[in-house]
Each structure stands twice: as structure tokens, then as C-alpha cells.
Amino acid sequence: MMIPNAMNIAEQTDAPPIDAEIFRAAMKKVATPVTIIATGDGDLRHGMTASAVCSLSDQPPMILACVNRNSAILPHLRANGYFSANFLDEGHVELAQCFAGVTKIYGSDRFNFGKWSTLATGAPILADALSVFDCRLECEYESSTHAVLVGRVEAIVKEGSTRALIYSGGRFGSPTPL
């Protein structure tokens, strides 16, 4: 049996189309983590702020990251076959803005900000991140706009603070316990 992918499901449905603005407004309310996805070495490092990053499974340990097909990092990530997912701490707002292109800094120059090292795969690892997952690219799925990347985790750092940086309502924040 053929398993339909996201693109041919969209072609098959009779449901009325969802307005993209309504979709964005609904999704904007949702709180997400903020990560920096990074790959490469030295002057060939690339990094990008990404919220669409989550756990896929713990056995085997895998994470999932959604990366726009137009983003600069994607061809390098594919060629290298590895990436890190650095979950940011509440003190990392400026770093998140830098790696989102807000400050017009590109390529390896973004790594002049923050303290970076390497671990198992060679991907850049942010020293004071909340937690870090160092991944080998296992496989990917293509949607019309994004690559959905599955990373097999080879190393973890979890000694960072416990105050996560989150993004909700178009603003950065940090969670308050109820």
C-alpha cells in the first residue's frame, strides 16, 4: 500500500482551503522552544534559529527539525550529514536574533557571538545552551516549503540552566511555573 505524503494528501482533499493568515495567527499563539541548528567547521560553519525542533523518539534517540528549503544552512547540512540542535536559554535572545538574520550577519560570522565548541559529529555546540543534541542526519522528508530532517543523536549536553527561551505571540520569553 502506498503511504500518502503531505503533498499528495493536499491534492486529494475536498476540504476548503485554510487561509494562510488564519493559520499563522493560530500558530503564532503557540509557545515553542528556540534552538540554533548548526553544522560545519571553522569558516564553513552555518547556523540558523529554528523553533520547529522536537523530540522524535528516545529509543533510538532521534530529533526532528524543520528547515526552510531556501535557508542558507540546508545544502551544507545535507553535504556534511550532521547537525547540532542547541536549545537556547533565556539569556540568549540576542544570539537567537543574530542567527535569525535580524542583525544582517551571515555565514560563519554568526559564530563570533556565543561560545562554541564541538563534540561527537564536529557540529558547532553552544557551550551554555539549555541542552544540546549532536546529531547525524539519518533521513529527511520534503514538503513544498520545508525539509523535515531526522537526526540520530550521538551526544548530549544537558548541564545548562533550566530557564528555557521560548517564542510565543511573536515575542521571546521564558516560562513561569504555575
Ligand X SMILES: Cc1cc2nc3c(=O)[nH]c(=O)nc-3n(C[C@H](O)[C@H](O)[C@H](O)COP(=O)(O)O)c2cc1C
Q: Which set of grid coordinates corresponds to residue 137?
A: 542526519
Q: Does 48 bind ligand X (CB under 6 A)?
A: yes
How many angstroms separate the CA atoms of 148 and 114, rounded?
Answer: 26
Place of cell 545535507: 78
* Ranges within 139-158 binding ligand X (CB under 6 A): none
Element (H, E) at 62: strand 61-68
Choice between 72 and 120, CB closer to ligand X: 72
Choice between 73 and 125, CB closer to ligand X: 73
Q: Collect all residues with Cβ–Cβ distance below 8 Å to 139 and sequence separation of at least 6.
A: 150
Residue 101 C-beta: closest distance to ligand X, Å: 3
How many angstroms separate the CA atoms of 175 and 96, rounded?
Answer: 17
* Ranges within 64-103 binding ligand X (CB under 6 A): 66-68, 71-73, 100-101
Q: Does 49 bind ligand X (CB under 6 A)?
A: yes
Could you list the residues that contact ligand X (CB under 6 A)?
34, 48-52, 66-68, 71-73, 100-101, 106, 167
